[in-house]
Amino acid sequence: MANSDATLRDKRILLVIAGGIAAYKSLDLIRRLKERGATVRVVMTRGAQEFITPLAAGALAGGTVYTELFDREAEQDVGHIRLAREADLIVVAPATADLMAKMAGGHADDLAGAILLATRLPVLVAPAMNPAMWAHPATQRNIATLLADGIRLAGPERGEMAESGEAGTGRMSEPLAIVAAVEGLLAGGKADASENVADGKPLLGKHVLVTAGPTHEPIDPVRYIANRSSGKQGFAIAAAAAAAGARVTLVAGPVGLADPEGVSVRRVETARDMLAAVEIALPADIAIFAAAVADWRPAHEAGSKLKKDGSGIVPPLHVTENPDILATIAHRRDGRPGLVVGFAAETDDVLENAEKKLGRKGADIIVANDVSPANNVMGGAANTVHLVTPEGIESWPQLPKDEVARRLIHWIAGRLKPTA
């Protein structure tokens, strides 16, 4: 965090504290933000005051703590609209399930809700709740709505909860992790901390293997099963890895994209060909499986073109399962790449499904993206991704696919264990 002082100096943070046991960590968050030169204004919900006092928060922040929407004095002092505007960033920590439901629904019946509805500032939420509440479809729905509204997420993380015997995803991120997320947001996408590592070539001497594009699964010599993947994100990742100094092998399904500069490309058609090409390319330090591999293929490929003979009888299409390339490589005993990264293209419950996929496939990182048709990810130029790891979730704003690739490569490089 070499540049942390500069990023937060003279920045105005409005911190909204909601009612959860994690509120005690928000006192430390105030301190961490202030010691980096930020000014912090605090708003507390009713619930928050059950856990910590406005006096304690005010003493650390060095100012009034705002709690009431209909408080004549406070409204004359600054008013909720000014609170919503006079800052560089709003942080909600802890964000309870209830407050997030309010935000998703646009409720404004208390000061925190009114500010969050009236603001045009970037908002970062750090959720904290019981794992069952986090996993509930209602919370996941609300999170999806908030992310679609452009709100950024820090955490939650996995671990022990305050309640004894409870573990899972739901713990609020540590104050320093929230500070890092604040800095990332304030830096406005200019640079992430890991980018300062080395001289822009953090993957020098590493072999990176990337899969990209769809696969084509033949029905007969002229027909096949396919999907809408353009390969753009995977090709951009291969190019970014090469730019970061890596030796890169790209195993690409059928796409019309040119070979990225400095990348060794193997073109394949089917999932089985892709798996074979991946196995040949190993060993690798990092494997990034960005391909949209067909889950099924026709059980029998006809040797000649199937004919419509006028009888009205349609040929049956029996399918069989394709090998899962990511899971096969991630579960290898010998020769498993040091870091295995998978993608999860989802249309529903994006984060929950990505978390499940992490365990099921044996990946170290799942890059989740919402590919609902409304987002135009498949074939489009931009992508909104969430990085899901066993430690927690990090969400990035919508970015061009090239920028997602560049950041992802630097982020991954930052997670590589130093080689002995």
Give the shortest CB-409-to-ligand C5P separation in angstroms: 16
Q: Which is nearer to ligand C5P, 112 or 291 (CB)?
A: 291
Residues near 419 by beta carbon (within 8 Å), at least 6 away in sequence = none
Give the shortest CB-386-to-ligand C5P separation in angstroms: 14
Give the shortest CB-40-to-ligand C5P separation in angstroms: 40
Q: Which of 134, 235, 289, 411 binds ligand C5P (CB under 6 A)?
A: 289
Q: CB under 6 A: which stretch of 63-71, 127-135, 146-154, 336-344 binds ligand C5P?
A: 336-344
Give the single-character DSSP code of 195.
G
Angle between helices 401-415 and 232-243 (to 10 degrees): 50
Q: Which of 52, 239, 344, 388 binds ligand C5P (CB under 6 A)?
A: 344
Q: Which is nearer to ligand C5P, 95 or 293 (CB)?
A: 293
Could you give the angle at the alpha carbon of 195 between the alpha carbons of 263 and 335, nearest 5°? 50
Q: Which of 90, 111, 291, 371 binds ligand C5P (CB under 6 A)?
A: 291
- Distance in angstroms (rounded) separating the CA atoms of residues 126 and 115: 17
Give the single-character DSSP code of 292.
B
Give the shortest CB-342-to-ligand C5P separation in angstroms: 3
Q: Which of 241, 287, 326, 330 binds ligand C5P (CB under 6 A)?
A: 326
φ and ψ of 388, to 5 deg:
-105, 120
Applying CB under 6 A, what is the total number of residues that bind ligand C5P? 13
Nearest partner of 106 among 145, 155, 152, judged by Cα: 145
Is the peptide bond prior to 283 cis by the omega test (within 30 degrees of 0)?
A: yes
Per-residue contact string for residues 257-286; x = within reach of ligand C5P by CB under 6 A:
--------------x---------------
- 293 is a site residue for ligand C5P (CB under 6 A): yes
- 324 is a site residue for ligand C5P (CB under 6 A): yes
The residues annotated as belonging to the active site are 227
Characterize 330-353 residue by residue with b for buried, 16 or more Cβ atoms within 10 angstroms of its Cβ, and e for exposed: beeeeebbebbbbbbbbeebbbbb
Give the shortest CB-110-to-ligand C5P separation in angstroms: 40
> Measured in Å, how far apart are the chain's first and last C-alpha atoms?
24
Cβ pair 388, 354 in contact under 8 A? yes
Q: Which residue in the shown chain puts its C-beta closest to ligand C5P?
A: 325
Structure token digits, residue 12 = 């105005």
Per-residue contact string for residues 199-228; x = within reach of ligand C5P by CB under 6 A:
------------x-----------------
- 405 is a site residue for ligand C5P (CB under 6 A): no
Structure token digits, residue 46 = 């009713």
- 237 is a site residue for ligand C5P (CB under 6 A): no
Structure token digits, residue 406 = 């560049």
Nearest partner of 417 among 238, 281, 329, 285, judged by Cα: 285
Q: Which residues bind ligand C5P (CB under 6 A)?
A: 211, 271, 289, 291, 293, 295, 322, 324-326, 342-344
